[in-house]
Amino acid sequence: MTNRAIMDKRITLLLPLPPKELSPNARGLWDRIEATREYRDTVYYDALRQLGPRAEYWRCSIIGKRLRLTETYRIAGKRQHDIRNLFAAFKAGEDALGPVRYWRGTPILGTGLLIGDDDSVLEHGPPRIERVKTKAEEGVRVIIEEIG
């Protein structure tokens, strides 16, 4: 299999960890609303920057296909984390990878790297936590792959 064929079937992104305000256990509604918007924008621009012109090619190649999204949370330190809370906190990031959506007539940024987030087009792989040595290495490694 050539590198081009591998690229057509899978993309990998390294995105920032979601802020603590997006945790399901966090308090403060207005902080969460602002953090959601900021994180969605950050993921949107980071993903497009990392993919460059390949983003448009990927969007064309996934039409009518099912995708698998797998997240690996790269975290420094020894503190224990609840994987389901991390998964839920990343939802704003997942929304940024999906298509453009509208809320009350206002467009919400979406890269189009995912067709949608319902179970007919998207399957989630098992989320994992990977320990890294430094804060600079932290982030969410996202793998999007074509499965059918």
Range of the domain at 24: 3-146
Prediction pTM value? 0.86
Residue 62 has a pLDDT of 87
Q: Letter for the amino acid at 33?
A: I
What's the pLDDT band for 8 if we cut at 50, 70, 90?
A: low
Q: Letter for the amino acid at 88?
A: A
Task: Report the run of H or E that residue 88 belongs to, with start and end.
Answer: helix 83-89
Q: Mention every residue, 6+ apart, whose C-beta is less than 8 A from residue 45.
A: none
Is residue 11 helix, strand or coil?
strand
Strands 67-76 and 128-132: parallel
Residue 96 has a pLDDT of 92
Higher pLDDT pick, 143 / 1: 143
Instruction: Kindly report the CATH number assigned to the domain that includes residue 99.
Output: 3.30.1330
pLDDT surpassing 90 at residue 30: no
Percent with pLDDT over 70 in the chain = 95
Mean pLDDT along residues 26-37: 87
pLDDT surpassing 60 at residue 7: no
pLDDT in tens, 52-102: 988 888 888 888 889 999 999 999 999 999 999 999 999 999 999 998 777
What is the number of structural domains in the chain? 1
